[in-house]
Chains A and B, each alone.
Chain A
Amino acid sequence: MSSVPENHTPGESVTGYSVAHDEEAVVIVGSGAGGGTLAYELTSKGIPVVVLEAGPYLTHDEYMNNEWESFNQMAWLDPRTTSGSWRVARDFPNLPAWIVKAVGGTTTHWSGATPRFKDHEFKARSVYGRVDGANLLDWPIGLSDLAPFYDRAEKAMGSTHVHGRPPLPANNNYKVFANGAERVGYKFYATGPYATNAEEYDGRPASIQDGFNFQGDKNRSKWSTLVREIPRAEATGLLDLRPNSQAVQITHDAEGRADAVLYLDEEGSLHRQAAKIVCVAGNSIETPRLLLLSATPSFPDGLGNSSGQLGRNYMRHLTGTVWGHFEEPVRMYRGETMAGMIGDESLHDPDRGFAGGYYLETISLGPAFMAAFVEPGTWGPDFAKLLDAYTNSAGMWIVGEDMPQETNRITLNTTLKDKNGLPVPNVHYDDHVNDVAMREHAYAAGEKVYAAVGARSTHRTPPYPSTHNLGTARMSERPEDGVVDRWGRSHDVKNLFVSDGSVFTSGAAANPTLTIVALAIRQADYIAEELKAQRI
């Protein structure tokens, strides 16, 4: 099932359906969690869409079960730069984030953890109070607004543990993790919620525990917009999908309404697609980059940036990894990579010395990634020991709420251009003291879990390039405080929407994708209504 027809014309649709370039269309930029979901929800309501996707259309049989080959096949490798005191800037100066450039976006490489936000996490500013140096703000919506859409998202994604979906079985890595959790007194551990089938569901088979998640799932048991939303949108006959088509500018008319998207095809030729609505879902680095690239005399600081908040408040979750080395074999690489979670520390308890909470989740890497990430920049006998312990290692990942800061931001680096001559994005990030305190606490908690089941030694691995990228076009009640309103609609440009994790007002402890999908479903309902009422 390769998806691109032969003799395909660059920059044009690969489905049976296409929209004329001068016809004003609903244009979606990006086909990942946000964009792919929006495309399906709108087409299923009878609304045709054009999806511009910068990456190629690859499917499960083209995936590679090899860490570097797969990374080189699908990751977004266009140049980016970094600055700030975060460790990633030192270890991976040109790879601030791990994001996929392909149809399906990063949902092809994601693992599948789908916790919901908690009620108070939508009110970070009210509940956490004033936190020095943080730019906290309450969301303009709450859990009750999102709850029905969480239900729909969980059913769409087939999350385990909810709506009657059975849990995944315990794999080896989970057995170590869960026993350790039990012994230190944690209660809320389980193998999910996790958006991979434990049994056949939604026309896709049960997991065969093949150990490859971060490389795309050849078995299609894992949810992605590539296996569900894109083919279903295509089946409506209303999806015009243009892979290898990178949006480079959104233009506007004299009234300040978005009127077209300019994009480059794989040969570098520029196209223009007229638009009546533009929805941007390029993930939280490319989304602000595109809007910054769309600055004009009427929008001198970037499209929809009257607040000055575009590109700011970049969040990436705390992250960090703890490895435990045991006397006996673990073989953590067998089975689902992240099907294990401890929720006991996800609460807000300022007595621990920081605001917000974190989850601990199982993680596994193969030797290739382990060598690159376990302690970047090091070598020698101590380094070799970390790999010698491979068979007997168990791993867990820390995912916790980081503080939004105005100075953590995406900007255009005008000293460096990509192959298209466009300024590359720079990602600036400094850890907040709250982030540092939480990470320390989480490392120690993880070490206790492994010590409780007899770890000979443990190792703290610093953050990987960001897999959760959030907050750069945040939602706010008032136009002065953020970029979009409660529906993800630009405060400034009424037919411009942001449809990905860039809209997060704060990060919460939970992995973000379920919330991105829920917000996109909700936004689709809203756009459909507004179109019907002719308010867009």
Chain B
Amino acid sequence: MVFPAKYPSLNATEMTEEARQTLIRVLRVAFPHQCVPDGPYERTADTILTEAQNETWFRVALTQGLLSLNQLSDGDFRSLDDAAALRVLRRVDGTEFFGFVRRTAVLNLYDDAEVWTALGYEGASFDQGGYINRGFNDLGWLPDPRVEFPEGETMPEIAPGATGAPRPAAGGQKTDSTNQPGATSSDMEEVKK
């Protein structure tokens, strides 16, 4: 166990380039998108490293986590193929380390403009006049549906016979209780905070 706050020298660690590369590989395996180039994965890894730099506990978890990945990989996590790497990640799924990496990745990887482009999302459109003349209704593989409710018909409110249906089992109960009050009343005991 380390006591980072008590021994400042323990805080003076820095992640190596190897650690960064391992982290990038972790992200690729955990969030595998063929369409996404390396840039977003690298940026997300850097965000994680920056956050770890600012939070002692995260840094401890990250250092330890990357170390154990290599141990679980008999040496170097980066040398594993996709399937083997995925198995290793599944084994650390419940750890503080992986939870921190996953949360930070979900929030940052998918907030990256290059990922949006890869997934086909165009984002903000206000400056270009919205999508009104840029394909908000360009879907052509289905017929154009009506946009109003059918004329002269009213939406059903209560199914025929619903009010005549037998009440739920508790319906036979005579006196009102807290959970089953009468129609407009309920006798409740005073609730103490």
Contacts and interface: CB of A to CB of B under 8 A. Distances in A.
A175 B183 contact: no
A478 B188 CA distance: 12
Interface in B160-193: 162-163, 165, 167-171, 173, 178-193
A178 B137 contact: no
Interface string B75-109: 00000000000100110000000000010011101
A133 B159 CA distance: 24
Given A125-B181, A478-B184, A175 B142 contact: yes
A445 interface: no
Given A65-B123, A351-B165, A387-B110, A161 B148 contact: yes
Nearest to B193: A301
Contacts of A133: 179
B7 interface: no
Nearest to B98: A379
Given A212-B126, A334-B131, A391-B120, A406 B178 contact: yes
A331 B135 contact: yes
A175 B155 contact: no
A499 to B, nearest CB: 23
A175 B191 contact: no
Nearest to A191: B147
Contacts of A212: 124, 126
A188 interface: yes
Interface string A120-164: 100101110111111111101000000000000000000001000
Interface stretch (A249-257, A304-312, A516-524): A304-312
A329 B163 contact: no
Contacts of B38: none
Interface stretch (B16-24, B29-37, B46-54): B29-37
B149 A161 contact: yes
A132 B193 contact: no
A348 B191 contact: no
A384 B142 contact: no
A291 to B, nearest CB: 12
A371 interface: yes
A379 B31 contact: yes
Contact of A312 (B107, B115, B132, B191): B191
A189 B147 CA distance: 7
A90 interface: no
Given A172-B136, A480-B188, A390 B158 contact: no
A247 interface: no
Interface residues of A, number: 96
Interface string B107-138: 10111000110011111111001111011111
Contact of A334 (B134, B141, B188): B134
Contacts of B142: 175-176, 179, 453
Contacts of B126: 65, 208, 210, 212, 218-219
A452 B137 CA distance: 20
A295 B190 CA distance: 15
A209 B131 contact: yes
A387 B36 CA distance: 11
Nearest to B34: A388
A348 B159 contact: yes
Contact of A351 (B105, B146, B159, B179): B159
B139 A135 contact: no
Given A351-B165, A372-B107, A187 B132 contact: no
A366 B106 contact: no
A189 B145 contact: yes
A528 interface: no
A463 to B, nearest CB: 18
A187 B131 contact: no
B153 interface: yes
B180 A132 contact: yes
A343 interface: yes
B74 interface: no
Given A210-B125, A384-B31, A391-B120, A182 B145 contact: yes
B131 A481 contact: no
B55 interface: no
Contact of B187 (A68, A188, A480): A480
25 contacts: A129-B168, A130-B170, A130-B171, A132-B168, A138-B184, A175-B142, A178-B147, A188-B150, A190-B146, A190-B149, A209-B132, A210-B132, A211-B131, A212-B124, A219-B126, A307-B188, A347-B155, A347-B156, A351-B159, A366-B123, A368-B110, A379-B31, A380-B90, A388-B35, A480-B185
Interface of A: 65-68, 118-120, 123, 125-127, 129-138, 140, 161, 167-172, 174-176, 178-179, 181-182, 187-191, 207-212, 218-219, 292, 295, 300-302, 306-309, 312, 328-331, 333-335, 343-344, 346-351, 366-368, 370-372, 379-381, 383-384, 387-388, 390-391, 406, 411, 453, 477-478, 480-481
Interface of B: 30-35, 86, 89-90, 102, 105-107, 109-111, 115-116, 119-126, 129-132, 134-139, 141-150, 153, 155-159, 162-163, 165, 167-171, 173, 178-193
Given A137-B184, A384-B31, 16 more contacts: A68-B111, A132-B170, A135-B179, A138-B184, A174-B145, A190-B147, A210-B124, A210-B125, A301-B193, A331-B139, A334-B122, A351-B162, A366-B116, A379-B106, A391-B119, A480-B186
Shortest 3 CB-CB distances between A and B: which pairs?
A208-B130, A308-B191, A391-B120
